[in-house]
Amino acid sequence: MSALILALIAGAVVGLALGALGGGGSVLAVPALIYLLGFTPAAATTASLIIVTATSLTALYAHARTGNVRWKAGALFAAAGLLPAAAAGTAASRLPQPVLTAAFAAVAALAAVTMLRPGRAAIRPAAGETRPGKAAGTGAGLGALTGLLGVGGGFLAVPALVTVLAFEMQAAVGTSLLVISANALASLATRGATTAGVDWAVIGPFTGAAILGAWDGKRLAAKVSGTLLQRTFAVALLAVAAFMLVDALT
């Protein structure tokens, strides 16, 4: 099967997951780029950032039109992650490939376990009680994760915005796209040299398919139980994480 067809299929799956779940689909992009398209872990994280940025900005526009983006609060949250994202992006290019693979596998497993846990009511701070220090710390951690591993971090950003900043779910999903886009752009800014080696003939179709797949994912989410979608995705993600961890250790 040609690289173009694989890129289109992988991009569609990533976009479908993003559109259906509101986050987490980008966690599939890195393993798809490594194991299906032959990218090195370092190149895959850079390429994933390009895909995440383009897809997130497109989705951000759609959410902004429906008023689901809290611009001021989201900008403050994102600002805390810009420097960590840039620093982690620089560090990622210097880390051994097995370390990057193992770290990514650990984060993927964490995301899967979080999705499989029984839903519990979020404990939110009362209005006006948001702690700026805690919000800044959460934003910085998310930025570092984005820069190091090339993931958008939507599976962490959404619950963080709900519990730390007391956002309702729709606003958290929309605002997380602002945070993800800012962090991904900050990390890409430090990878100017490495983006020169990215295979745009593969990344272009991958990104286009992801954007289109995200719209199909939204329609799928309206027809299928959200819990079923989330658990199916989590099981697949656990399998991917286990495979990547074994690969890193052998």
How buried is residue 222: exposed, middle or buried, by Cβ count under 10 Å (0-12/13-18/19+)?
A: exposed
**Three-state secondary structure of the chain:** CCHHHHHHHHHHHHHHHHHHHCCCCHHHHHHHHHHCCCCCHHHHHHHHHHHHHHHHHHHHHHHHHCCCCCHHHHHHHHHHHHHHHHHHHHHHCCCCHHHHHHHHHHHHHHHHHHHHCCCCCCCCCCCCCCCHHHHHHHHHHHHHHHHHHCCCCHHHHHHHHHHHCCCCHHHHHHHHHHHHHHHHHHHHHCCHHHHCCCCHHHHHHHHHHHHHHHHHHHHHHHHCCHHHHHHHHHHHHHHHHHHHHHHHHC
At 5-14, the pLDDT tens digits run 999 999 998 8
121-141 pLDDT, tens digit per residue, is 444 555 445 566 777 888 888
State the pTM of this model.
Answer: 0.73
Query: For 41-63, how does the pLDDT look when each residue is reduced to its tens digit (9 = 90+)?
Result: 878 888 888 888 888 888 888 88
Residue 181 pLDDT > 50: yes
Is 45:100 a contact under the CB 8 Å cutoff?
yes
Percent of the chain with pLDDT over 70: 83
pLDDT digits (tens, 9 = 90+) for 90-104: 887 788 878 888 888
Among 106-120, 122-136, 185-199, the least confident range: 122-136
Average pLDDT over residues 184-192: 77
**pLDDT reported for residue 128:** 45
